[in-house]
Structure 1
Amino acid sequence: MKKTRYTESQIMSILKQAEDGMSVAELCREHGMSSASFYGWRTKYSDINISAVTRLKELEIENKLLRKMYVEACLRAEMEREATEKRSSFMHHKDE
């Protein structure tokens, strides 16, 4: 997923300013963004309220944590498998 330099709360604030009557051109100039970004955000966040954005962010953080835990578990399993293979190989050669 592409990173943005704006947080969801900043985006919602910018969209709120537009709803309050500030022109898109003025917002873009003030915040250093393109009008395409603004309209993309408006499309993406048009039906989402602040609590939903907060929940979305929480879920993204949880997803990142779960992915990290999965990778760590896979690495641990791989290390255990390699250790078992080495032990088995060592015991096999010792018996010969």
Structure 2
Amino acid sequence: MKVKDLCRKHGFSEPSYYAWKAKFGGMNVSDAQRLKGLEAENTKLKKLLANSMLEIDAMREVLKGK
């Protein structure tokens, strides 16, 4: 089956297929699951860092006014 037909059958574009293949092509299932978990954790940590930086900035503004 051609990639074009496979993508049409499952409802996604060819560039999406090739991006997925570049990212996950050489991995087995456990590696892909681990990567997905690490990406989720990384996203969570980035949000926590952004919130902490906002709090620090707000505290600096409050202290600057005193």
TM-score normalized with structure 2 length: 0.77
In the alignment, residue 77 of structure 1 is paired with which amino acid? I
Counterpart of 1:86 in structure 2 is: 65
User: Which structure has the greater CA radius of gyration?
Assistant: 1
Alignment CA distance shift 1:36-1:68 (3 Å): closer
Which of residues 36, 42, 47 in structure 2 aligns to 1:68? 47
For 1:86 and 1:28, how far apart are their aligned partners in 2? Answer: 59
Query: In the comparison of the two structures, how many residue pairs are matched?
Result: 64
Identity among equivalent positions (%) equals 36
Counterpart of 1:58 in structure 2 is: 37
Structure whose residues are more often helix by fraction: 2
Unaligned runs of 5+ in 2: none
Q: Which has the higher contact order (CA 8 A, sep 6+)?
A: 1
Superposition deviation, residue 43 in structure 1: 3.7
